[in-house]
Amino acid sequence: MNPGLLLAFDDEQAQAAALAAALQIELALVERHRFPDGESRLRLPPKLPEQVLLLRGLHQPNHKLVELLIALPAARALGAAQILLVSPYLAYMRQDMAFTPGEAVSQRHIAALLGSLVDGLITVDPHLHRIQSLDEVMPGKRGVALSAAPLLGAWVAQQVPGALLLGPDEEALQWVAEAGRCHGLDFAVCHKQRLGDREVRVALPALPLAGRAVVLMDDVASTGRTLVEAALAALAAGASSVDVAVTHALFVGDALAQLRAAGVRQVWSSDAVPHETAVVPLAELIAGAVRAF
């Protein structure tokens, strides 16, 4: 795809500017106004080129999804014949099956909704565990799932040479394995038992941790409870240090403070989600995917 314009929302201007610079295309902003009753008024450029790249991360997703429901058809009406959505963090991907009768499978429904409004989607490390690709939940549309694991692995290898990459649960294996293999780092995963939204139990893998520098790696950190439990267990097992590297730094409430209180030394993330811990930029990774689309 050769977009003539990168369109982004005004609260993601820094990320948008980096991506526009990487692609060497013009950047325009969607201006937002929120009325006292919570409704939004959006203003786009009055005329758009035929091919448009739209950047919108979906952390804090509910009001952002509504804004996309308004902005995407508005962009069509203003001249965009082809729209490629870049959503570095794609929300609602974790509910990928009905765990109890009647539960909505939000992954399927949100992906299908977005697929009905765009011509393609690029995201980073979506939470896909029971499907092989986004194409399965976006019928007829192309979805590209990039991974920040090699970039996070490179950062870890530079900051903590010889670190053991430890996934806080089995689902993190794909990230720690990719990062470890790319940069010659050992890797393993813990076993997690989830008891509730904020209560988990973590069992360490059967390997010696005494004296080792451990870096916990995962795709997303929300409440941080799994990482906290894994950090406490690793330190109790004699790890010389514990750091954390994640793609998506949500860190709801006091999650980051809890990690530090548990003895975590450093917390690093990609800039898929704007956060104080973001040290790994993704603009070049995403730009390459746009060019190849």
**Catalytic residue positions, numbered:** 192
The owner of tokens 């989600």 is 273
What residues contact 174, with CB distance under 8 A and at least 6 apart? 149
What are the backbone angles phi and psi of residue 118, rounded to the nearest 5°? -125, 170
Region for residue 140 given its phi and psi (left: phi exceeds 0; alpha: psi -120 to 50; beta: otherwise): left
DSSP string computed for 14-77:
HHHHHHHHHHT--EEEEEEEE-TTS-EEEE--SS--SEEEEE---SSHHHHHHHHHHHHHHHHH
Angle between helices 149-159 and 173-183 (to 10 degrees): 60
Q: How far apart are CA 54 and CA 16, in angstroms?
A: 9
